[in-house]
């Protein structure tokens, strides 16, 4: 029996949409201690997409983080925004969003159930679906170099 493929341990192994999601997620969580991070997320999304899509993304991201905070099965491990590492919890959240983007609801549900208690699963899936729709849209503005999660 072959060992399972390990998940990527660094953000540089992620695709553009996954790096964007990791970046906005990390900044949003850190924003609970420093609201400037929330403004940074808003400005970047508004620059990349139209205002309506950016507003939808911020609303969905806030709902996702709130659901994880209120219904988490255990502590959720994440790295600081500039860290090139990728925690197992972050990877599972990325896998969840990827499943939502692909409308693979059985996989999304299993991953949601792994992260949150039963009473938060529906809210997490709804937020994941909304975020997934944004990440599937073409990004008319190329990402800024300073939004990379890798240190310079």
Q: Is the pLDDT of residue 4 over 80?
A: no
pTM, to two decimals: 0.85
Question: Considering the domain boundaries, does residue 124 fall inside one?
Answer: yes
User: Number of structural domains, the chain?
Assistant: 1
**pLDDT of 67-124, one tens digit each?**
999 999 999 999 999 999 999 999 999 999 999 999 999 999 999 999 999 999 999 9
Q: Please indicate, yes or no, if residue 1 is contained in any of the structural domains.
A: no
Residue 85 domain flag: yes
Classify residue 34: in a domain, yes or no.
yes
- Please state, in angstroms and rounded to a whole number, the distance separating the CA atoms of residues 136 and 99: 12
Q: Could you list the residue range(s) of the whole structural domain that residue 38 is in?
A: 16-140
Q: Is residue 39 part of a domain?
A: yes
Residue with tokens 């990402």: 143
Which whole number is the average pLDDT over 34-57? Answer: 91
Per-residue pLDDT of 10-44, as tens digits, reads 888 888 889 999 999 999 999 988 999 999 999 99
Secondary-structure breakdown of the chain: helix, strand, coil percentages, each rounded to the nearest 5: 65, 5, 30
Q: Is 85 helix (H, G, I), strand (E, B) or coil?
A: strand
Query: Has residue 119 been placed in a domain?
Result: yes
Distance between CA atoms of residues 55 and 113, nearest Å? 27
The two tokens of residue 80 are 């600081």
The reply to whether 78 falls in a domain is yes
């Amino acid at each position: 029996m072959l060992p399972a493929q390990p998940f990527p341990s660094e953000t540089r192994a992620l695709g553009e949409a996954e790096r964007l999601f990791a970046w906005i997620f990390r900044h949003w969580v850190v924003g609970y201690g420093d609201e400037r991070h929330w403004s940074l997320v808003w400005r970047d999304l508004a620059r990349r997409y139209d205002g309506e899509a950016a507003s939808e993304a911020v609303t969905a991201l806030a709902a996702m983080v709130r659901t994880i905070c209120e219904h988490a099965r255990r502590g959720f491990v994440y790295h600081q925004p500039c860290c090139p590492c990728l925690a197992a919890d972050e990877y599972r959240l990325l896998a969840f969003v990827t499943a939502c983007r692909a409308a693979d609801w059985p996989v999304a549900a299993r991953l949601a159930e792994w992260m949150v208690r039963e009473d938060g699963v529906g809210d997490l899936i709804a937020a994941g679906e909304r975020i997934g729709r944004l990440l599937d849209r073409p990004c008319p503005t190329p990402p800024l170099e300073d939004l990379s999660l890798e240190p310079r």
